[in-house]
Amino acid sequence: MKIMITGAAGFIGSAFARLAVSKGLLPVCVDKLSYAGDLERLKSVSDKIHFHKADIADKEAIGRIIASGGFPPRAIVHFAAETHVDRSIIDPASFIKANVTGTENLLELALFHGVEKFIHISTDEVYGDLLAGAAGFRETDCLAPNSPYSASKAGADMFVRAFRKTFGLPVITVRPSNNYGPWQYPEKLIPLCIARAMRGESIPLYGTGENIRTWLFVEDCAEAILQVLERGRDGETYNIGSSEEKMNREVIGAILKHLGKGEELVKSVPDRPGHDFRYAVDTAKIEKETGWKARVRFDEGIEKTVRWYGENSDWLFRKADEARAFTDGLKRRFGEMGTKTK
């Protein structure tokens, strides 16, 4: 089965592409290769995929790729997005272009070419945050995004919904919780901490470090999306998560323990504006309907992850240096909590 994967050179998209290849699917991979995209993630399957460098905001280019090879893909699995909350605080408009306009382009093209399934990768962040002890969000809960990133993802979700209601496009939305694992760009918490701790540098911790996230090993997430592609019901939304809720400082503590480093590396920094306190989702629906359940426990996953970055430290440090050059440049232009909107 020919499928199109957008954002396939990113962290989760590449894990899904590698899984899809192992299951005999034929992926046509599309990625703009922004700072977050890297073909090294697809190296192990490069002879089993077709890769196209293209921007989903460029409708004509994506249309040509969909039509190429004589027949369109049966399914589009849509990961491509701007994904970093801090960058969305600095430059919200670029998130609308990639995440909303890009998604709407893909929906129009899927409709035009008669694509049979459109799997939209959203995020648990569209629900907004939760108080400690409250039950996890369910798929029927209202959306209440708090950052420009989550607002742009929620906007995309609404277009996905509207294309099914208005035009009958077969769509499914999934809302995963925080992923971690090999190949994640080190501007995100876990690889950033590993890179800094490995080099004996200070580790920035937002506020008190008590913010809670639910952690999902990336291979579990890719497997969930495959199950939804095969068994998910048209028009439905599925949360994807685990029972592994951790405070940020607990996550950092686990990394330091595995690296044999001390807590003195942790340095508190001013909190992110609008920082959501807690995310948690109820996963009963995907478990009941597809049989999927997260398999990798956090203890096991974080150990594997720390080991992988240790074995791939050249990649990690190269990317960490790129991420730092970007952050330092922004601080020079806009100050510590700078934003283009000021």
Ligand X SMILES: NC(=O)c1ccc[n+]([C@@H]2O[C@H](COP(=O)([O-])OP(=O)(O)OC[C@H]3O[C@@H](n4cnc5c(N)ncnc54)[C@H](O)[C@@H]3O)[C@@H](O)[C@H]2O)c1
Contact indicator for 333, 341 with CB cutoff of 8 Å: no
The residue annotated as part of the active site, out of 31, 55, 104, 124, is 124
Q: What are the angstrom distances between the C-alpha of 258 and each of 7, 248, 250, 262, 338? A: 31, 16, 13, 10, 34
Q: Which of 2, 26, 34, 210 binds ligand X (CB under 6 A)?
A: 34
Q: Least separation, in Å, of the C-beta of 148 and ligand X?
A: 13
Distance (Å, whole) CA 170 – CA 157: 14
Among 28, 42, 49, 56, binds ligand X (CB under 6 A): 56
With respect to ligand X, which residue has the nearer C-beta, 64 or 267? 64
- 187 CB-near residues (< 8 Å, 6+ apart): 84, 86, 87, 323, 326, 327
Instruction: Determine if 28 is a binding residue for ligand X (CB under 6 A).
Output: no
Q: In what order do the strands lie in the sheet with 178-180?
A: 178-180, 212-217, 245-247
Q: Which stretch binds ligand X (CB under 6 A): 134-142, 173-181, 252-260, 280-288?
A: 173-181
Cα separation, 340 vs 334, whole angstroms: 7
94 vs 339 by CB, closer to ligand X:
94
In angstroms, the CA 171 to CA 38 distance is 28
- Applying CB under 6 A, among 3, 7, 104, 172 the residue interacting with ligand X is 7
Nearest Cα to Cα of residue 179 among 217, 153, 211: 217
CB contact at 8 A, 6 and 59: no
Assess whether 124 carries a catalytic annotation: yes
Instruction: Determine if residue 143 is left, alpha or beta; phi over 0 gives left, psi from -120 to 50 gives alpha, anything else beta.
Output: beta
Which of 87, 117, 153, 319 contacts ligand X by CB under 6 A?
A: 153
The span of 53-61, 104-112, 241-249, 297-305 binding ligand X (CB under 6 A) equals 53-61
Q: Does residue 13 interact with ligand X by CB under 6 A? A: yes
Among 127, 137, 159, 185, binds ligand X (CB under 6 A): 185
Among 3, 21, 25, 57, binds ligand X (CB under 6 A): 57
Q: Does 305 bind ligand X (CB under 6 A)?
A: no
Q: Can you tell me which of 33, 111, 144, 247 binds ligand X, judged by CB under 6 A?
A: 33
Number of chain residues interacting with ligand X (CB under 6 A): 30
**Site string (93-122) toward ligand X, x via CB under 6 A:** -----x---x------------------x-
- DSSP H or E run through 48: none
Nearer to ligand X, 6 or 283 (CB): 6
Q: Please, which residue, 244 or 265, has the CB nearer to ligand X? A: 244
| Vertex 277 angle, CA 137 and 121, to 5° | 50
Among 123, 214, 290, 305, binds ligand X (CB under 6 A): 123
Q: Give residue number: closest CB to ligand X.
A: 10
- Contact between 101 and 153 under an 8 Å Cβ cutoff? The reply is no
Catalytic residue among 38, 55, 104, 125: 125
Q: Is 71:2 a contact under the CB 8 Å cutoff? A: yes
9-20 CB burial, b ≥16 within 10 A, e <16: bbbbbbbbbbbb
- Distance between CA 334 and CA 153 in Å, rounded? 25
Does the footprint of ligand X cover residue 31 (CB under 6 A)? yes
Is 242 near ligand X (CB under 6 A)? no
* Residues belonging to the active site: 124-125, 149
Positions in the binding site for ligand X (CB under 6 A): 6-7, 9-13, 31-34, 36-37, 55-57, 79-83, 98, 102, 121, 123, 153, 176, 178-179, 185
